[in-house]
């Protein structure tokens, strides 16, 4: 019988494994680099931890099951996962990539992969005619949905159709929603990317990345590559992510609930010119999200009326932390201009709508009232300082 996602987060179906481990409920950390053989040709199935390690393997099985994939590979970071994935392509290949992506992915594509002879077209996949960018040498479409940080929502099934028609891979970075809210492989994607540092880990205490696929041929290529490039996740970090995943469902629900309340509060502020949260009915991607995801997540972006207002918020927050990253239990507010998207050229940032008055918030699981109380205080103090109470 198919298990629900919260059960999948806490239990793998193969109970035999836990019996093998003396019944330990918490999967053991196999802190070993290598493995003894009882004779020639008698491997335990594990030979060297660059190739595979039992703790990492356990985590990979859990993530594959959450994404309904046949294989998942755990990496030291999300960027390590994306970097290895780029080894599927060769000089002369062309990729269609969303224009609004995590800044590190943009940096990798345009400053590293391009140097290796791979061509890119940056396309607003949520609104442009993606098919018109397909060329003879196009090999893949790469999207995030919602995007980081502008929260653009792309129709995954529509992208999958284009990919099928032209024999392209569809690659979806699912970091912002996590497998709890969205499963791109079920909608026709071939590869799912995660920064496991975010919701999967969930506690802002370790880094990780994942590639998940439901295709045997891609899984085989990934397995060859991981043993070759060696950027797999270490045993202790694998255990931390395994532990984080156990509470994925309740964290996602709780932080989404808080995000809805904060989005509502922000909308009432005169100093906020725009709140971009797909859970709001006016968000252009709201209906698509309802169709392709089970929730709207806990990431939101908002525009302040001035750079000064935005900077003042960053200076004043205390319980809410001014920090990069997202997806942890703590609420973080990020300044894309100097943090996550600092290396994206200013003209591209501006084209995507990221200005010096844009803030991104990853809403955590604290009490919503405390978060709103702090925002209330920070906004009122800023208004007082900037306008002497005259305007807001
Ligand atoms: C959407 C997205 N993908 C990938 C990454 C990269 O992940 P990592 O920081 O684990 O390398 C990030 C990091 O912020 C991200 O936001």
Catalytic pick among 8, 139, 198, 260 = 198
Catalytic pick among 27, 30, 102, 335 = 102
Q: What is the pTM of this model?
A: 0.97
Residue-level pLDDT at 113? 98
Is there a catalytic annotation at residue 50? yes
Ligand 1 atom nearest to CA at 340: 14
Distance 377 CA to ligand 1 centre (A): 31
Substitution site in 77, 86, 104 for ligand 1 pocket (most atoms within 8 Å of beta carbon): 104
Distance 155 CA to ligand 1 centre (A): 21
| Strand intervals (E) in the chain | 71-75, 94-98, 119-123, 138-144, 169-173, 191-195, 209-213, 272-276, 299-304, 321-322, 332-334, 358-362
Residue-level pLDDT at 390? 67
- Where does ligand 1 bind, in terms of residues with CB under 6 Å? 77-79, 102, 104-105, 144, 148, 173, 175, 195, 197, 207, 209
The residue nearest atom 2 of ligand 1, judged by CA position, is: 102
The residue nearest atom 15 of ligand 1, judged by CA position, is: 102
Ligand 1 atom nearest to CA at 209: 10
N- to C-terminal Cα distance for the chain? Answer: 57
Distance 332 CA to ligand 1 centre (A): 15
Is there a catalytic annotation at residue 223? no
The residue nearest atom 6 of ligand 1, judged by CA position, is: 78
Distance 121 CA to ligand 1 centre (A): 21
Print pLDDT tens along the chain (392 aa).
788 999 999 988 765 666 677 888 899 999 999 999 999 999 999 999 999 999 999 999 999 999 999 999 999 999 999 999 999 999 999 999 999 999 999 999 999 999 999 999 999 999 999 999 999 999 999 999 999 999 999 999 999 999 999 999 999 999 999 999 999 999 999 999 999 999 999 999 999 999 999 999 999 999 999 999 999 999 999 999 999 999 999 999 999 999 999 999 999 999 999 999 999 999 999 999 999 999 999 999 999 999 999 999 999 999 999 999 999 999 999 999 999 999 999 999 999 999 999 999 999 999 999 999 999 999 999 999 999 866 54
The residue nearest atom 7 of ligand 1, judged by CA position, is: 78
Distance 111 CA to ligand 1 centre (A): 17
Is there a catalytic annotation at residue 335? no
| Host H or E run for residue 141 | strand 138-144
Catalytic pick among 173, 190, 349, 360 = 173
Q: Is there a contact between 277 and 300 (Cβ–Cβ < 8 Å)? A: yes
Catalytic pick among 35, 50, 223, 316 = 50
What SS3 state is found at 276? Answer: strand
Distance 222 CA to ligand 1 centre (A): 19
Residue-level pLDDT at 15? 59
- Two structure tokens written together for 152: 């653009």
In sequence order, the 6+-apart residues with CB closer than 8 A to the CB of 14 are 61
In sequence order, the 6+-apart residues with CB closer than 8 A to the CB of 332 are 204, 320, 321, 322, 323, 324, 325, 326, 361, 362, 364
Residue-level pLDDT at 17? 64
Is there a catalytic annotation at residue 61? no
Residue-level pLDDT at 119? 98
Q: Is there a contact between 266 and 192 (Cβ–Cβ < 8 Å)? A: no
| Strand intervals (E) in 205-296 | 209-213, 272-276
Residue-level pLDDT at 185? 98
């Amino acid at each position: 019988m198919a298990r629900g996602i919260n059960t999948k987060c806490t239990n793998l179906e193969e109970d035999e494994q836990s019996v093998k481990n003396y019944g330990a409920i918490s999967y053991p950390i196999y802190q070993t680099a290598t493995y003894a053989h009882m004779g020639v040709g008698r491997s335990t199935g594990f030979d060297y931890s660059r190739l595979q390690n039992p703790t990492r393997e356990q985590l990979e099985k859990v993530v594959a099951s959450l994404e309904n994939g046949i294989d998942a590979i755990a990496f030291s970071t999300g960027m390590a996962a994306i970097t290895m994935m780029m080894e599927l392509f060769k000089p002369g290949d062309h990729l269609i990539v969303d224009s609004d992506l995590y800044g590190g992915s943009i940096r990798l594509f345009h400053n590293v992969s391009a140097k290796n002879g791979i061509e890119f077209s940056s396309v607003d996949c949520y609104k442009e005619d993606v098919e018109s960018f397909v060329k003879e040498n196009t090999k893949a479409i790469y999207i995030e949905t919602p995007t980081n940080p502008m929260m653009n929502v792309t129709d995954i099934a529509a992208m999958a159709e284009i990919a099928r028609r032209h024999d392209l891979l569809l690659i979806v970075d699912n970091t912002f929603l996590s497998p709890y809210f969205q499963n791109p492989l079920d909608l026709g994607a071939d590869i799912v990317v995660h920064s496991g540092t975010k919701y999967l880990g969930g506690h802002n205490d370790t880094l990780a990345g994942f590639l998940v696929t439901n295709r045997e041929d891609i899984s085989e290529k990934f397995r060859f590559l991981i043993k070759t490039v060696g950027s797999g996740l270490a045993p202790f970090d694998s255990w931390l992510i395994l532990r984080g995943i156990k509470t994925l469902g309740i964290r996602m629900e709780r932080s989404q609930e808080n995000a809805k309340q904060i989005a509502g509060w922000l909308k009432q502020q005169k100093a906020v010119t725009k709140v971009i949260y797909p859970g709001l009915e006016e968000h252009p991607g709201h209906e698509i999200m309802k169709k392709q995801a089970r929730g709207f997540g806990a990431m939101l972006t908002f525009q302040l009326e001035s750079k000064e207002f935005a900077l003042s918020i960053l200076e004043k927050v205390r319980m809410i932390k001014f920090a990069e990253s997202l997806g942890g239990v703590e609420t973080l507010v990020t300044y894309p201009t100097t943090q996550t998207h600092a290396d994206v050229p200013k003209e591209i940032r501006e084209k995507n709508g990221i200005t010096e008055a844009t803030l991104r918030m990853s809403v955590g699981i604290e009490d919503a009232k405390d978060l709103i109380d702090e925002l209330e205080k920070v906004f009122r103090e800023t208004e007082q300082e900037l306008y002497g109470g005259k305007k807001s």
